[in-house]
């Protein structure tokens, strides 16, 4: 079981990586990950501890077996949770499959799912019934490993709102060493 101090951000990037264009930087989900980094730079009290910044850089075009897989696993072992960006642009990929499978099923990391396309709690949950919206459940189908693993660890679904992401990052239920009950949760309306 992992019990690190970092937050491992998982996001879709196109495969194979292309060094000809901006590579990962041109991928929409990667841009949302960068927003977390900017929030941290602008506000040192923002509780995002970037696990990607704790090791060697992974370059576009890196070899999967020789470089990427080992670095992903090392960063996940040093993490206390998995912050997953899930949007309409997210695609199932080898890296996301590995991050979710090893992070959740291998290490038992809690998941904080951030929906960049959502700005309010009501974009995720039907306020009248406290049920997850069908549009959100449909996004889970983009990542079968996530969909099939969310009940195994504490998993919270949050809109792309700084104060809610801050709260999720600070909540002990979503940290490996102090995690709460497994299952799907969200902030009520």
Does a structural domain hold residue 124? yes
Q: Counting Cβ atoms within 10 Å, is residue 177 exposed (0-12), middle (13-18) or buried (19+)?
A: exposed
Does a structural domain hold residue 46? yes
CA dihedral of residues 40, 46, 48, 52 (deg, nearest 10)? 10
User: Residue 114 belongs to a domain with what CATH number?
Assistant: 3.40.50.11200
Q: Give me the half-sphere count of Cα atoms (radius 13 Å) on the Cβ side of residue 20.
A: 3
Does pLDDT of 2 surpass 70?
Answer: no
Which structural domain, as residue segments, surrounds residue 70?
Answer: 6-186
Q: Could you tell me the pLDDT band of residue 151, with boundaries at 50, 70 and 90?
A: very high
User: Structurally, how many domains does the chain consist of?
Assistant: 1
- For the chain, the average pLDDT equals 86
The pTM of this model reads 0.88
**pLDDT value at position 60?**
47
Which positions ≥6 away from 60 have C-beta within 8 Å? Answer: 17, 18, 19, 23, 24
Lowest mean pLDDT among 63-67, 75-79, 182-186: 63-67
Interval 94-112 mean pLDDT: 94
Does pLDDT of 154 surpass 90?
Answer: yes
Does a structural domain hold residue 168? yes
Does pLDDT of 68 surpass 80?
Answer: no
Does a structural domain hold residue 1? no
Does a structural domain hold residue 52? yes
């Amino acid at each position: 079981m992992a019990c690190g101090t970092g937050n491992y951000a998982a996001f879709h990037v196109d495969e194979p990586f292309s060094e000809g264009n901006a590579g990962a930087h041109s991928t929409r989900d990667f841009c949302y990950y960068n927003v977390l980094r900017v929030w941290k730079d602008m506000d040192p009290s923002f509780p995002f501890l970037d696990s990607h910044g704790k090791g060697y850089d992974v370059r576009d075009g890196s070899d999967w077996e020789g470089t990427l897989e080992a670095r992903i696993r090392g960063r996940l072992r040093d993490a206390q949770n998995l912050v997953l960006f899930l949007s309409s642009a997210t695609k199932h990929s080898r890296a996301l499959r590995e991050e979710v499978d090893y992070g959740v099923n291998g290490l038992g990391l809690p998941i904080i799912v951030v929906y960049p396309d959502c700005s309010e709690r009501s974009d995720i949950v039907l306020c009248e019934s406290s049920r997850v919206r069908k549009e959100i459940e449909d996004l889970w189908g983009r990542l079968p490993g996530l969909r099939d693993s969310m009940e195994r660890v504490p998993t919270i679904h949050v809109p792309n709102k700084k104060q809610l992401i801050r709260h999720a990052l600070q909540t002990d239920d979503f940290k490996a060493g102090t995690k709460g009950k497994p299952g799907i949760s969200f902030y009520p309306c």
